[in-house]
Amino acid sequence: MMGLLKIAFKLLVNDKGKFAALLIGITFAVFLMVQMTSIFAGILQKASAVVTNIGAKIWVMDPSVTTVANSIPMPDYVQDAVRSIPGVKYAVPLFSGGATLKLQSGVYQSVTVLGLDDTSLLGRPELLAGNIDDIYAENGFIVVKDSEIEKLENPQIGTEFELNDHRGVIVGIAQVTNNGLFGIPSLYTTYNRAIQYIPSARFTSSYILVEPKTETDIANIKLEVAKLGYLAITDEEFCNKISTFYKYKTAVGAKSQELIIMIVFQAAFTALTGYGLGVGLCTLMILLAKMRLPNYASIVTYSNLGLAFLMVLIIAVFSSYIGVRKVLKIEPFDVFRG
C-alpha cells in the first residue's frame, strides 16, 4: 500500500503545473468559504451583543420581537405580574432605545441608550474609569469604550453633551464583552432617567429581566408569562432567536427574481471579461509571433471572433441555468448547515 501511495504522490507532483493549479484553486476556495462564513458568524455574535452583555437569565418580551434592537414596550402591569409568579427571585425593567446626542463640537450623533433598573442596576457594564454610583448623579451617563467611541469624539469623565434639550454628563467609561453590530455608540444610564430624557410611547419597559430562584422554575415562569400574552425565553434562546432572524430574514432573504438577475449578471460579466481577455491574449501572441516570424500564418477574422463569442455565450447560458436551478431549489438552512 505504501508503494502505491508513493507512486500516486509522484504522479501528482511531477506534473507541477497541474498540481499548482489544483492547489491554488483549493486554497482560494477554502479561503473564500472560511472568510465569508467567519464574517457571518461574527455578525450573528454581534447581533446578540446586548443580550450577552446584560447577562439576565430570562428575558420577558412582546412575542413580536425579532431582535434585541426591535423592542416593543410593555405595560407596567406585566412587570408586577411577572414578579408575582412562583419561582421568580426578582424581575426588573430594562429600557432600550435610540437617541441623538448633540456633542460639544455641535455635531449630532446617534447612540443606543440602555436604561438599567434604578435599584439593582442589573446588567451594568464593567467600568474602566469612574464609579458606578455616579450613575445616580444628576445627568449621569456611562459610555462604552469600543471602536465606536471615536464617533462621540472620545469623551472623558466630565464630558458634557445634549440629549433632547437635557444636559448629559459622562460619569464613567466601561467595557463590554461584545460590541454591537450596527456601528452605533452605546450609553448606559438609569431606567428613570432614560424614559425621562428620551421621548417614548405610553409604555416604557422594553424588556423585563428575570432571575429565577432555581433552574427548574424556568419552565413554570415561561408558562405563566405565556398566559399573560407575552414571551419569556432564556438568554441562550434569545440569542438563537436573533440568529434565526438574521439567517432567514436578512442574510439570504432576496427574492427569486433578484437572485436570478444577480446570477445572470455575474455570468454575463465573467463571460464578457473572459472573452475580451482571451481575444486580447490571442492577438498579442499573434503579434509577437509575427515579429519573430514574418511568415507566421495566423489572422483574426470576424468569423472566428463571432464563433468564439457564440461559444462563450452558450457556456454562460448553461452556467447560469445550473446556478439559477440550484439557488431556486436550495433552502436557506442548507447554506449554513455545513
- Which residues are 58's β-sheet partners? 210, 234
Q: What pLDDT is attached to residue 335?
A: 46
CA distance 116 to 137: 14
Q: Tens digits of per-residue pLDDT, 71-118?
A: 899 998 999 999 999 999 999 999 999 999 999 999 999 999 999 999
Model confidence, pTM: 0.69
Beta carbons within 8 Å of 62's beta carbon, 6+ residues apart: 71, 72, 74, 230, 231
Q: What's the pLDDT tens digit per position in 262-282?
A: 777 777 777 777 778 877 877
Work out whether strand 160-163 and strand 166-175 pair parallel, antiparallel, or are unpaired: antiparallel
The answer to whether residues 257 and 264 touch, using CB atoms and an 8 Å cutoff, is no
pLDDT of residue 330: 56
CA distance 119 to 133: 11
Q: What would you measure as the largest C-alpha separation in the chain, in angstroms?
A: 99
pLDDT of residue 261: 74
